[in-house]
Amino acid sequence: MLLLKFCMMLWEFIVHAPGSKETDIILGVLSLIDVSLTGNLVLLVMFSGYENFVSKIDAGGHPDWPEWMSKIDFTSLKQKLLGSIVAISAVQVLKAFMNIDTTIDTVKLGWLVGVHLAFVISTLMLALSDRWTAGRGE
């Protein structure tokens, strides 16, 4: 479904790009990146969830598969998920800043930045706690 949405957005972007302003082109590219990151997040959760909770994936006969596909553990999954969420949140904040003079108010922008900072801080705290735990050998 996300692939279909991405293709529809890409087609619309291509059709309207020649007559668009620079800001509209940047916002279009950011929207495409946002959908792509969301799709990658879904795939990451699907494959790592299967690997961790159902059965091991044998990637030996498939050299073109990503390395993480058969080597991701729960800690790595948490870090990759939060990293993806931070990236998606950053795209949303950047899109809001690109539209700052037309459609967004300062309260909404403040909430977007605050939520993004909460994601960033949570990701940093998780990474630090995982590093400290790994350093103690647990």
In a domain, 15, yes or no: no
pLDDT(137) > 60: no
pTM score, whole prediction: 0.68
3-state secondary structure (DSSP) of residue 10: helix
Q: Using CA atoms, how far apart are residues 44 and 69, in angstroms rounded to an integer?
A: 8
Number of domains present in the structure of the chain? 1
Q: Does 90 fall in a domain?
A: yes
Question: Rounded to an integer, what distance in angstroms lies between the CA atom of residue 135 and that of residue 99?
Answer: 44
Write the single-letter amino acid at 71.
K
Is 73 a domain residue?
yes
On whether residue 14 sits in a domain, the answer given is no
Tokens representing residue 94 in the block: 């950047």
Orientation angle between helical segments 22-53 and 74-98, nearest 10 degrees = 170
- Domain assignment present for 92: yes
Confidence at 11, pLDDT banded by 50, 70, 90: very high
Question: 68: pLDDT confidence band, cut at 50, 70 and 90?
Answer: low
Burial class (CB in 10 A: 0-12, 13-18, 19+), 31: middle
Is 13 within the bounds of a domain? no
Outline where the chain has alpha helix (H): 2-16, 22-53, 74-98, 106-135
Taking a C-beta distance cutoff of 8 angstroms, is the pair 58, 71 a contact?
Answer: no
Cα 135 from Cα 16, distance rounded (Å): 53
Report the percentage of the chain scoring pLDDT > 70.
78
State pLDDT tens for residues 84-123.
Answer: 888 888 888 888 887 777 766 778 888 888 999 998 998 8
| Residue-wise pLDDT tens digits, 73-85 | 667 777 778 888 8
What single-letter amino acid sits at 7?
A: C
Domain boundaries, position 118: 2-8+21-58+66-135
Q: What confidence score (pLDDT) does residue 132 get? A: 79
